[in-house]
Amino acid sequence: MSSLSVEVGVFLSQLAAILLADVPNWRILFSLSAGLSIAQLLWLPFMPESPKFLVSRGRLDEAERALRLLRPGSDVARELAAMVEASHGCSADHPAANEAGFVTDVDSECKIADDDCDSTAATPRGASAVSVAQRTARGHTVGIADILRGRTPDVLWHPLFCTLFLMGFQQWTGAKGVVFYSTEIVVGVLNLTRSQVQHTPNSAQWVTIGITATGIICVVASMLLIDRLGRRRLLLVSTGGLVVACALVVVGCTCNAPALSIVAMFALKAAYCLGMAPIPWLCASEMLPYYALGALSGVACALNWLMIFAIGLLFPVLSKVLGGYLFLPFACLNAAAFSVVLLFVPETKGHRVCDIIQHHGRRVHIVLTARRSRRNTSI
C-alpha cells in the first residue's frame, strides 16, 4: 500500500502541476500541499499504534486491540502469536532448520514458553549475546551497535544484507531518473521546439502523466500477484524486465526511434512497479525479528533516501555525459541486481520471520544451495 500511495501521490501532484502551473494558479498548488499536511496532522491522533511495536514493548493487550481495529471481523490470535514469537528471537531447535542441515552461529538462543523465556549462556559470543537475548525476552529492543557487533539472539547478517541491498539498489534501477526527468527526456526524444515546450500542457508532459499512471496500474498488479508468485520471483521478473527496458531505451535514443524510446520508458516504469518498487519495503518486516526491526528499518530507510539524493544529483550529469547511452549503466546495474536476487535473496512468502532466521540465520550465503539442501532432504 505504501508504494501505491506514493504512485498515486506522484500522479496527482504531476497532474495538478500541469493544470495549475500558470500565474496565479501556482499559489493554489502550494496551498494544496499545506492543506494535505494539516489534514494528516489532524488525523494522526486517531490512528492505532503499530501492533508490532506494541508487542516488542510487551503491551500485548494493546497490540490485540490495535490488530482488531485494523482487521475488523478477523481472528487475530494467530497473527498476534506469531508476533510474540518473533519478538523474542528464534530458537535454533526448530525441526525444519535441523533437518535442512543448517548450522547457526548461536548454540543457545531465546526459547519461548507462554510468557516465560529462559536464555542459556553457552554462545560463541559470550555473555553479551545472552544479556541481549534476556533483554529482548523482556520486550526490549536492541540498538544498531548491538546488531553490528553480533550481540543479538539470532545471527542477522544474511537478512540484513538482503534488506540493505534491496533498499539501497531500488533507486539505481533508472526508474527514479524517469520520474524526476521524464519530461526533459521526452522533450529530447521528440525534438520539441521551445515554443512547444513553453505551451502547457504539452505532449511531453502528457507522456509523463501516462508513465506515472502505468506505475499505478502495475503496483496494483503487483499487489494481486505477490502472494501467488512470491516475492523472489517478482523481483527476478522486475530486474530482468528493467534490463530489457533500459537496453531498449538506449536503442531507441541512439537509433533515432522516438516511439521505441517512449514505449521502453513505459516498460521500464511497469517493470519497476511490479517488483522493485514495493517489495524492498516488505523485506525488513518479513526477514528481521521485531527486536531489531526498528533500528534496521531506520538504517534501511536512511540508505534509501541517501540513494535518492545521489541519483537526483548524478542523473542530469550522466545525461550530459552519456547522451543517448544514458540508460546503459542502469541496464548493467539491473543485470547485476538480477544476479544478486537469484543467488542471495530468499523467498519469504508463507514463511514466518523465525523460519527465515532459522534457515538463513548465518553469514551471507548463496540461497540456491540452501533451497537444494531442503529439497533433497524432503525427498
| Cβ-proximal residues to 257 (8 Å cutoff; 6+ apart), any chain | 251
pTM of the predicted structure, to 2 decimals: 0.76
Count of CB atoms within 10 A of residue 100's CB? 18
Domain architecture of the chain: domains with CATH? 159-378 (1.20.1250.20)
Q: CA-to-CA distance for 114 and 104, rounded, in angstroms?
A: 24
Q: CA-to-CA distance for 272 and 239, rounded, in angstroms?
A: 7
Q: CA-to-CA distance for 258 and 256, rounded, in angstroms?
A: 6
Write out the three cell numbers for 348.
Answer: 519469504
Residue 50 per-residue DSSP state: P
Find residue 118's DSSP bridge partners: 111
Nearest residue to 94 (alpha-carbon basis) of 371, 377, 357: 357
Phi, psi of 101 (to 5 degrees): 85, 20
Phi, psi of 113 (to 5 degrees): -140, 105
Length of the chain: 379
Q: What is the pLDDT of residues 138-188, one digit of tens each?
A: 445 677 888 777 788 888 889 999 999 999 999 999 988 887 777 777 787
pLDDT of residue 138: 46
Amino acid identity at 73: G
Alpha carbon distances (Å) from 349 to 222, 232, 326, 364: 14, 9, 36, 20
| Cβ-proximal residues to 161 (8 Å cutoff; 6+ apart), any chain | 344, 364
∠ Cα 189 177 230 (to 5°): 115
Find residue 117's DSSP bridge partners: 112
Do 337 and 236 contact (CB within 8 A), yes or no?
Answer: no
Count of CB atoms within 10 A of residue 360's CB? 26
Amino acid identity at 192: L
Q: CA-to-CA distance for 147 and 157, rounded, in angstroms?
A: 9
Q: Strand 111-113 to strand 116-118: parallel, antiparallel, or no bridges (unpaired)?
A: antiparallel
Question: Coil, strand or helix: which one is 116?
Answer: strand
Q: CA-to-CA distance for 187 and 24, rounded, in angstroms?
A: 26
Count of CB atoms within 10 A of residue 53's CB? 17
Distance of CA 119 to the CA centre of its chain: 33
Q: CA-to-CA distance for 156 and 154, rounded, in angstroms?
A: 6
pLDDT of residue 118: 41
pLDDT of residue 218: 94
pLDDT of residue 104: 33
pLDDT of residue 111: 37
Which residue ranges in the chain fall short of pLDDT 70?
1, 86-141, 197-198, 369-379
Rg of the chain in Å (alpha carbons) = 24
Number of DSSP helices (H) and strands (E) in the chain, helices first: 19, 2
Amino acid identity at 125: R
Nearest residue to 364 (alpha-carbon basis) of 101, 150, 161: 161
